[in-house]
A and B are shown apart, each in its own frame.
Chain A
């Protein structure tokens, strides 16, 4: 019996090795550095030094930006995903490739391109100039940073929502109309509740990278809008303070776990649609 169960588990071995090497071990390192000082002695001082107004602002700003980017992504992605799910199967495939297309390019290049578009003498202002508008100051604003997040993470919102909408049985929409719902009511009573699992995974997949992102803010925000990701990067790359960097990472991780728990609670109520 025991032999058999070992054999049964054998196919999972590569994944287990992978998890231990690249997920568990780094987590242990992060925790180790977060709770030690430069000499390797146990301390909670790293966390203590985070309790400043400066860090509070960074955390709050990151959370706000990520929240806004997530909401904007949701508002844009839902109608897009709905529209795509209603087209013919062939068109659906083409449109989904178009949605994914930007992801084939490097993240840095995409963000650089937005710099060129948003600069005071950039593409957008030049184009607007031709029709007698502007120039507008767009680069190095909070709006530009959020735009960068929305642009980069939008496909992660469209994809899961599209998946849940394309699985929606059209007969349920008919049944809803049959029982007295007009189009708006069908949307709120049937379509939205049944695509909730997609919405929740979309929110998670946009919020988590948004709150921990770096680089977008440096390039599109001109360094004026420090986010958690940038701060962590700086601790490792410039300040060489692995202990503080790890402590920030650790706090961020706790925050993300907390917000995901809340999201999942929200998803689970009223019977297991989030599977």
Chain B
């Protein structure tokens, strides 16, 4: 069966004060999909969501919903509901009245509203909370009310703007599972905005990676992780060692002063490329058996594995291994052909992927992950 396009963005452009936050965005979103818009702060993901919700109007381009253009349709006439970043529950209404808000506007009989509210409360595990004051609920409970308030209107599409951003880690994990379950149970299309790559990978059918107002890559979580298109995506999704390389011929690449077999082809002869090697794909071996060798500069215990930084000819690699090796020790690195991923050079080349300034990079990342706007 042909999958049904529910939302189409065509050449969407948006500028704020002369700064282009969305640059010719084209994307199709299909019915019943769980789509995540992923990117650092300021990449345009929240603006894109707000355009779909109707709170922001694009400067140019078209927004289509289920085969009809809705660029000029006000939010209250769209079959789309939103779970807002900080919940935006109505403080003058109790839990029940918050959830019933949308249905009351539709003049539904109170009896039917009651049944539906009870059904929603059961779905979000808040039975018995009807009369509670929303201002006195915990963050997680407010979040559930916000989800119920949106879902009760049976929207075709649910927009979620960093809905779990304010929750602690444990609760966030639980809510991720719950959201995924709700999405599968209801069959509603979810468009989910987050800067948390782990959240995006674990929940989505489709991930849209954004940077600088442009879509960098659209794909399934595995595609995005295993086949990133450029250094930005490789770095943003998980940890990556990204090296300058040269494609010698099909299935043969040179980087870090050595030649390697790989699984990539279709590049020009001697084309300059970016090479990605994930930290977990590097095997630590005795120096004489290694394809590369280097000196360990730091070791961090992470629970499941050690994270070690290895200096190979000045370039700092990050490697995740379960075998302990101490700082100063010389080790060999072994890389299987399928651990090597080749990318075309891009505007992001040489900006990411070297761990020599690791701690500074962490700071940089935490800057990036600050809340949008």
Contact = CB atoms under 8 A, between A and B. Distances in A.
A273 B76 contact: no
B75 A194 contact: no
A179 B88 contact: no
Nearest to B53: A178
Contacts of B88: 169, 171-172, 174-175
B353 interface: no
A223 interface: no
A89 interface: no
A182 B84 contact: no
A125 B250 CA distance: 95
Given A270-B92, A273-B91, A174 B84 contact: yes
A99 B153 CA distance: 43
B90 A172 contact: yes
Nearest to B146: A175
Contacts of B101: 176, 179, 189
Nearest to A186: B76
A171 B88 CA distance: 6
B153 A179 contact: yes
A177 B92 contact: no
B81 A182 contact: no
A271 B133 contact: yes
Interface residues of A, number: 22
B86 A178 contact: no
Contacts of B85: 171
Interface string A116-148: 000000000000000000000000000000000
A174 B231 CA distance: 37
B105 A177 contact: no
A108 B81 CA distance: 56
A178 B82 contact: yes
A182 B74 CA distance: 9
Interface string A236-275: 0000000000000000000000000000000000111100
B90 A190 contact: yes
Nearest to B155: A178
Given A171-B86, A185-B105, A271-B133, A178 B92 contact: no
Nearest to A270: B92
Interface in A40-84: none
A271 B82 contact: no
Interface string B72-114: 0011100011101110111110100000011001100000000
Contacts of A95: none
B90 A178 contact: no
Nearest to B152: A179
A26 interface: no
A181 interface: yes
A185 B90 CA distance: 14
B54 A177 contact: yes
Contact of B82 (A169, A175, A272): A175
Residue of B88, B133, B153 most packed against chain A (CB within 10 A): B88
A102 interface: no
B55 interface: yes
B76 A181 contact: yes
A243 B224 CA distance: 88
A153 B99 CA distance: 40
A180 interface: yes
B149 interface: yes
B90 A180 contact: no
Contacts of B106: 180
A273 B135 CA distance: 11
Interface string A150-180: 0000000000000000000101101111111
Nearest to A175: B88
Nearest to B133: A271
Interface string B36-56: 000000000000000001110
Contacts of A179: 76, 81, 101-102, 105, 149-150, 153
A236 B198 CA distance: 79
Contacts of A185: 105
A178 B81 contact: yes
Contacts of A271: 92, 94, 133
Given A271-B92, A273-B91, A177 B75 contact: yes
Nearest to A190: B90
Nearest to A177: B75
> What are the nearest 3 A-B pairs in CB distance?
A171-B88, A179-B102, A175-B88
Interface of A: 169, 171-172, 174-182, 185, 189-190, 193-194, 196, 270-273
29 contacts: A169-B88, A171-B84, A171-B85, A171-B88, A172-B90, A174-B75, A174-B82, A175-B88, A176-B90, A177-B54, A177-B74, A178-B54, A178-B82, A178-B150, A179-B81, A179-B149, A180-B102, A180-B105, A180-B106, A181-B105, A185-B105, A189-B105, A193-B92, A194-B90, A194-B91, A194-B92, A196-B92, A270-B92, A271-B133
Given A179-B153, A194-B92, 15 more contacts: A172-B88, A174-B55, A174-B75, A175-B89, A177-B76, A179-B81, A179-B101, A179-B102, A179-B149, A181-B105, A182-B74, A182-B76, A190-B90, A271-B133, A272-B133
